[in-house]
Structure formats: C-alpha cells, structure tokens
Chain A
C-alpha cells in the first residue's frame, strides 16, 4: 500500500478544507438570496392576535376578509384558516402587483401554500402570518391547507384567482371578491 500516514493526513486535511469551503459557498449563496433578492421567510416581524376573539372584532372579522385595496393603494388579502375551510374559500388578486397576504387561525394549527408560487406559511393560532408576493401568471390556483389540522384537513382547499390588472376592479370600499365575477 502506497498510503503512508503523512499522505493520509494530508488528503484528509485537503478534503476537510474543501468541504468547509463548499459549506461556506452555500451559506453565502443563501444569505445573498435572502438579502439581495428578498428571498426570505414569511412574517419577519412578530405580530400576535387572540384566536378566541378573532371573529368578534379587529382585522380578521368576516367583513374584512378577502382582497382589499387600501387608501394608500396597497393590496392586502386577508384569510382566516379554520377547521376545515378557508374564509373566504376563494380570493381574487391582480397580476404583476405586490400583494400582501395576511392570515390568522381561530382554532388550531394550519398552514397554507399557493400551488405553483413561493407563497407558503404556517398559520399558528396566536400569531398573524404575513407573506408578500407578486403573481406573474393569470389563472386559478389551489391554496390548500398543508398542515394537519384535524380529520377534515384533506378537504381544506381554497382557490386563488389571478386576474389581469384591467379586470381587477375594486368596489367603492376597495373590495374585490370571487362572487363579483
């Protein structure tokens, strides 16, 4: 065998440095994506909300749910994830515009994702989840609950309808809903 001790140690050492370098490169790539391309995690500021009184008053009462254009022109879609449906179970959003999705749960743990996009967050009772995104393609997409929330979990699916900007017509209160079309 040509493998003497010194060459063993040397090859080990080279490999170790190479692997640490690989790890470092991955790290830099991930951090770069996070900072330069805003490729981060949802809800980077922590907001709490009482799940038990969610329906009584405040941001997540039924009347406030769905998509709204604020006075400042910002578009916010609010949903409540509950056993075993989304409220509302269909939302409309415009193409090519920044949309802020805000979600809360009145009962147990849920999660949501919009298929074919990078929208993905847990919805933890006690907290508000928030995701910013831009929808590039028009059409209807599924928004399922992706975390076990009870025996009806499998049927907890909502729809997201992405429409061209010209078809996105808010009413006088800034609301747009699936029922309007």
Chain B
C-alpha cells in the first residue's frame, strides 16, 4: 500500500465525504454558538468584576482559574458521565456546548479584565467629571478601549477553544472528527482522517489569518 492509497484513497474519500461534510456543519454550528456565548459570558463577568465587590470577585477569580487549569476533556467526561448520576440528562452536544462555553468564558473574562484594567484612571476621571455614571463610563469609555486591546488574544483563544469541539467525538458528538474516525474504522483506511484535517484547515485557517491581521492592525496609536 503506498502513501496516496493510505491517505488519499479516492474511493474512500468519495464514499465518506458526505458524512464528513455533515460533521463540518456540526463543528461549525457548535463553534459559532460557543464563541458567541463564551465571549458574551466572559465580557459580562469582566464587567461584574469591574464593580469591585470583593466576595463576587473572589468567586469569579476562582471560577476563571479552575476552568483555565482543568484539561477540557476531564470536564467533558465528568459532565457527560457524571451528571446523569444526579438526574441531569444532557445530550452530548449540549454537554460539549456548555463545557466549552464555560472554558472560553473563563479565558475571555481574564482577557477583558486585562483590557479594562489597562485603561488609565484618567479616562475614568474624565468621564465621571462630565457626569457620566459608573456603568456609562464602563460602557462608553472603558470597554471600547479595553475590548479593542483584547481582540487579538481573544481571537487566538476562541480558535483554541473551538478546535476543542473535536473532543466531543469521545462522547458521541457527530462532529468532523467523529465522522472521520467512524469512517476510518469502517473503511480501514485513513483517508477520511485526511479529509477531516483538510476540513479543519479550511474552517480555521481564515480565523488564524484574522488573528494575525488583528495583531498587526491593533498596535494602538497612542500619544
């Protein structure tokens, strides 16, 4: 068996392309809602943290640190196999969505928080001195600057977390990798995995390039 037959077998590729394409939609759909929900939750947590309630902030920090420390697969397995034991029956898609959203939110919270704290005290004072309230200052003055600063790292982190949708294959989420490994075991040929790799590159390369562009673009002009 030569290389092209092992990795690029035309018959196998043709046969399993539709199922991998269906996996592309699952991966794409899950990635999209994870990015939106995780970023939004992270932003909300960072804003709450800006209010400076000590007890609340402690909880947020503990949450962010633990979720950033745990390997995502551990959380996925605990949620999928553990929760039914306490009567919570979530589908594999829902488990993957919730776990990855919570993980992305933990990273996003830290990124947005870093952005918020990087905005100087003078900006707060200027805004408050013109009669804007705390929330108005946060929303109209601080966040536009802080979020902008956080965009490049956030894009990188969003890519990293959405790629983890591939972990869903271990709990039966019908994503790209799951379809490919199923096809691989039926066909006894690695070509579906090659196709899966190509699908991932096609999906994520644009976002990697976007992150690169953001990094050069958002070198902020300051006086």
A and B bound?
no
